[in-house]
Amino acid sequence: MARAIDAELESKKGGTAAYAVEVLSNDGKKLTEYKLDVNTGHTRAAKNESIEKIFTRAKPQDIASAPTSLIDAIAAAEQHTGGKVIDAETESSGSQMRYDLKVAKPDGSTEKVKIEAATGKVVSAK
């Protein structure tokens, strides 16, 4: 199954906002960026990205075998903070993989949340 590894809310002045979502193929050899309409979720555009972009963050096999997906991590961060995730990245440190998320809270502030990929638990929030 292909896995989302990065998501970001992008808005351009005078334009419509879109989610930019990077998806790694099952075999770990193809990285595709999708632009999704924020209102409908429909794909506006898709383009192939350089696979080397992900190697600074996590190994493809670690992403594929992680018990917690980026989608699960986003849901956990939103539940923890009561806000909406506006940026999410897959990161690794040694053999540990985590998700770093930025959440826009209802009061207008933002909070950074780190979720452990192995357990789905929030490991820090600030």
Averaged pLDDT of the chain: 86
Q: Which residue range forms the structural domain that includes residue 25?
A: 3-125
Q: Is 100 strand, coil or helix?
A: strand
pLDDT exceeds 80 at position 63? no
pLDDT tens-digit map of 4-32:
888 888 887 777 788 999 888 888 788 89
Q: How many angstroms separate the CA atoms of 27 and 107, rounded?
A: 41
The domain tally of the chain equals 1
pLDDT tens-digit map of 108-123:
999 999 999 999 999 8
Q: What's the confidence (pLDDT) of residue 16?
A: 79
Global confidence as pTM: 0.72
Q: Are strands 122-125 and 43-49 parallel, antiparallel or unpaired?
A: unpaired
Please report how many Cα atoms fall inside a 13 Å half-sphere around the Cα of residue 56, on the Cβ side: 5
**Confidence label for 90 from pLDDT (cuts 50, 70 and 90):** confident
